[in-house]
Amino acid sequence: MNTVNANQPLLPEDKALLIRFYKCLFTGTFVDWLNDGMRYDLSRYIARIGTLFHGATEQAYQISIQSASEQN
């Protein structure tokens, strides 16, 4: 994941930030599920997160692209 498409580079610092964000989001969600005794449907919960945040990653990519073009 270094480019959104062939002509739109993702800034390396933004790539690292997005990876860390999603890693923490899903790791934290998993740990919370375990700590709660696995009493709810984790797959439904994660699907709902996906629904609520639909388009957020694409928007972050576009902001990164804009920032990269402003730096050039």
The model's pTM is 0.76
Contact 38, 14 (CB under 8 A): no
Helix segments in 1-72, DSSP class H: 12-35, 42-52, 56-71
CB-based burial of residue 51 (10 Å sphere; 0-12 exposed, 13-18 middle, 19+ buried)? Answer: exposed
pLDDT tens readout for residues 16-65 = 999 999 999 999 999 999 999 999 999 999 999 999 999 999 999 999 98
The answer to whether 29 touches 45, Cβ cutoff 8 Å, is yes
